[in-house]
Amino acid sequence: MNGEFAVVTGGGGFIGSHLADALLAEGRRVRVVDNFVTGRRPLVPAGAELLEGDVNDVAADAVRGAAVVYHLAALPSVPRSVKLPLESHRATAQGTLAVLAAAEQAGIRRVVVASSSSVYGDTPTLPKHEGMAPRPLSPYAAAKLAAERYAGSWASRGKVETVSLRFFNVYGPRQDPESPYAAVIPIFIRRLREGKPMPVHGDGGQTRDFTFVADVVRGLRLAGSAPGVSGRLYNLAGGAPVSVLEMGRTLATLTGKEARFEFGPARAGDIRDSFADVAAARRDLGFAAAVPLEEGLRRTLEWFSA
């Protein structure tokens, strides 16, 4: 697919900017679409065309001329969605609908939709597999599930090929530690560097499937070109559970600091345990995570220290 024109919505964000970099390195033409509500302008690669705007408003211009659209634009964060449910729905569910409708009109070959492990909810079954009934516990999770359903409906009608990917706790360089809705790893890194305890919501025994951003980018690229997968959804993850406390202790060891924690109440909408069955992505996409947690944390720390 070298030379193929690709669009990355949310390309000024943490994951989207890494994806845009990788596509450019393959020799692709890349258009980044972002309204910079949560994305950051400096993260947009110099070689990419930039279209600034909300995908709900600029979808037709956003997808024009492309062969594949990687749709990552959303309003991230479970706590943010609890506080701002209407905004979460518009950015995440309605934005996906706008992109799919525009893709159909423009004759786009494939749309890859970024979804989330949060759609599984707090079901006791582990690992989480794609055949499970979803049980979203937050507006963010519900909006991501709606995005998946919209994508599936377009694929079922043969209008546009779609693939939905459920991300599991992606981390790595470029995550913003200053956002009030920052993810746990950049928050822990910032607090360790400040010599302060790492804040934990709940008892810290909750598990997550921390997945390095380079692995997710590889999965996205595979989903953009794999044959015979339209209408399907896949987990993208490392496939191993790690507790929040265990991750924090690993970070502390890598920084040579004492692992100190500050415990607070669990957050509304958060789930207790989550890790993925990645057999389907391995079988159909050829995907397997390559970066173990300790190595990914080390690379993330190097970026924060640069």
Strand partners of residue 50: 32
Q: Is 181 a catalytic residue?
A: no
Angle, helix 293-305 to helix 184-193, in steps of 10 degrees: 60
In the three-class reduction of DSSP (H, G, I as helix; E, B as strand; rest coil), residue 54 is classed as coil
**Torsion angle in degrees (nearest 10) through CA of 162, 165, 166, 167:** -150
Q: Is the dihedral of CA 280, 281, 287, 290 positive or negative?
A: negative
Contacts of 306 (CB under 8 A, 6+ apart): none
CA 81 to chain CA centroid, Å, is 15
Q: How far apart are CA 196 and CA 292, in angstroms?
A: 26
In the three-class reduction of DSSP (H, G, I as helix; E, B as strand; rest coil), residue 223 is classed as helix
- Give yes or no for a contact between 9 and 16, defined as CB atoms under 8 angstroms apart: yes
Q: How far is CA 50 from CA 33, 165, 238, in A?
A: 6, 24, 32
Q: What angle do CA 95, 101, 102 make, to 5 degrees?
A: 90
Nearest 5°: phi and psi at 199? -75, 130
Catalytic residue among 70, 120, 140, 150: 140
Strand partners of residue 115: 166
Distance between first and last Cα of the chain: 34
**Active-site residue numbers?**
140
